[in-house]
Structure 1
Amino acid sequence: MKPEEKRIALLIDADNAPASKIDVVLAEVARHGVANVRRAYGDWKSPYLQQWEAALHPYAIRPMQQFAYSTGKNAADMAMVIDAMDLLSGGSVDAFALVSSDADFTPLVMRILADGLKVYGFGERKTPDPFVNACSLFTYVEGLGQSPVSADTSLQERADPKKLRGDTRLVLLMRNAVEAASGDDGWANLSAVGSQIGNQASLDSRNYGYQKLSELIDAIGLFDLRRESQTVLVRDKRVLAKDVAG
């Protein structure tokens, strides 16, 4: 492992995550660092976890057996939280990747963030907003591993531009990030905008059906984009309107 690579603890709530997406989840985690801890939690005697059981050895994931001691209580969730806190206090990891669609892990995410570590979340689109928004970056697994075969196919999966402009939270997040990263002329480097967004909230353009942040920003229709060699610049269209009015 390279010295600069982050050590990431990959913790999987097997009861609330699809086993079919583990390969693309691991590929996504690899973008941020090395998953030196890989654990999946559940009652492995349950027939519902057969698909996960088949994925454990090929991907070097350690099964963490947790019996359901009583009806209505998820002992696996408790075990996962306890292990996460042990890893956090032990200082053996630099970040966490939590795979679950369960909002009950939201307090855990906030506790990890309080210690200055990033949390990369992965779950299905049914995942409640509190968990999604709490993560440093949350990615819906349905959007992983899908390369746009054609423009038409890609457009069918994308959020409508009108709907994007009506998303007050998204627009405000974008405008604040562009303003914070812009120079005196109002133009901001796209990479700086992405960093600003990452510091403010969880945002993955693929959750909206767009492969790149620049494509999402362009689709909103409230920003100007300019390409200079390998650099992409972004400007709030209100800046130009203000200059013209002045």
Structure 2
Amino acid sequence: MTATRIAVLIDADNTSPRHAEALLEEIAKYGVATVKRAYGDWTTSQLGGWKGELNHHAIVPVQQFAYTTGKNSTDSALIIDAMDLLYSGNLDAFALVSSDSDFTRLATRIRESGLTVYGLGLRKTPQSLVAACDTFIYLEVLGKDSPPDDADDADDAVDAEAAEDPPLPNLQSLLVRGVNNASGDDGWVDLGALGNYLRTASPSFDPRHYGFPRLLPLVESQPYLTTESTGTGVRVGVKGQVPVPTAAPAKKTVTTGARKTAAKKTAAKKTGAKKAAPKK
């Protein structure tokens, strides 16, 4: 099976270099990053922290001068390159790394051409861009084991002070609605089908937001849901709407001594029956 070919386009003006390794590892779960480019004005000191990451991960820097103060020319350069790559027909998906709503129309246009769009950005990313992507991954849930670099993360600190992170969707409402909408007539839904529905209904859904590494442990921890192993996978239902799975009755264990005693009793009965039988 051919791996999904992904173009990773990074808005370096809008993304801290400390996220570089983690976001590439995340993208690797979905396919192979055949194109890796980072856009920005590399003549400025603000992007100095990116130099080591560019070399380490073989990311191609694309220079874009800021022709006018207050205008971001990087966005235009990234969009033009994305359209060129789209028309080349050599890719299966795009990963747009930015928290800028200006890329909303780009994401929509790529999806209209039948390609998948993965978005990666901070929690402050406008909902318009999140909804325009097939899957949107918040950078805050990636690479938590690595401590932030104060110098590299200066922009993130400013953004955090300027706006609060939007609240997460209500988990119970999201899961119950997902099970009800994706289940069959019997009320059960395969775990994989539930995951696909959740990502479609809420592109930013991620079990890691709620403290779980995967969907299964998240579902199993919810008191209003029940799970059942099917032998080939796991299915999920809402308690009260599906029969509660019951454990199979335990088989009685017969010891070797008990087997010998039973055999002796059977043999004795047969012997007695032969003696009692009348002679012809």
Specify whether residues 219 and 132 from structure 1 end up closer, same or farther in structure 2 by C-alpha distance, changes over 3 A only.
Answer: farther
Q: TM-score, normalised by structure 1?
A: 0.81
Q: TM-score, normalised by structure 2?
A: 0.72
Partner of 1:204: 206
TM-aligned CA deviation for residue 66 of structure 1: 0.1
TM-aligned CA deviation for residue 222 of structure 1: 3.7
Equivalent-residue separation in structure 1 for 2:180 and 2:11 (angstroms): 38
Between Structure 1 and Structure 2, how many residues are aligned?
221
Equivalent-residue separation in structure 2 for 1:191 and 1:237 (angstroms): 19
Detail structure 1 runs of 4+ shifted over 4 Å in the superposition: 170-173, 218-221
Equivalent-residue separation in structure 1 for 2:38 and 2:113 (angstroms): 23
Equivalent-residue separation in structure 2 for 1:220 and 1:109 (angstroms): 34
TM-aligned CA deviation for residue 15 of structure 1: 0.9
Q: Deviations over 1:49-73 (max 9, x none)?
A: 0111221111010000000000121
Equivalent-residue separation in structure 2 for 1:92 and 1:207 (angstroms): 34
CA contact 2:186–2:242 (8 Å) conserved in 1: no
199-208 or 84-93: bigger deviation? 199-208
TM-aligned CA deviation for residue 182 of structure 1: 2.2
Partner of 2:178: 177
SS at the partner of 2:91? coil
**1:123 pairs with 2:121:** yes
Amino acid at match of 2:206: D
**1:92 pairs with 2:93:** no
Amino acid at match of 2:191: L
Between structure 1 and structure 2, the one with the greater Rg is 2
**% identical aligned pairs:** 47
Partner of 1:217: 219
Amino acid at match of 1:44: W
Equivalent residues in 2 for 1:151-162, closer than 5 Å: none
62-71 or 202-211: bigger deviation? 202-211
Q: What stretches of structure 1 of length at least 5 have no aligned partner?
A: 148-162, 242-246
Q: Would you tell me which structure has more helix in proportion to its own residues?
A: 1
Q: What stretches of structure 2 of length at least 5 have no aligned partner?
A: 146-166, 244-280
**1:23 pairs with 2:24:** no
Specify whether residues 239 and 106 from structure 1 end up closer, same or farther in structure 2 by C-alpha distance, changes over 3 A only.
Answer: same
Partner of 2:155: none
Specify whether residues 223 and 195 from structure 1 end up closer, same or farther in structure 2 by C-alpha distance, changes over 3 A only.
Answer: same
Specify whether residues 107 and 220 from structure 1 end up closer, same or farther in structure 2 by C-alpha distance, changes over 3 A only.
Answer: farther
SS at the partner of 1:122? strand
CA contact 1:8–1:34 (8 Å) conserved in 2: yes
Equivalent-residue separation in structure 1 for 2:45 and 2:240 (angstroms): 57
Amino acid at match of 2:72: N
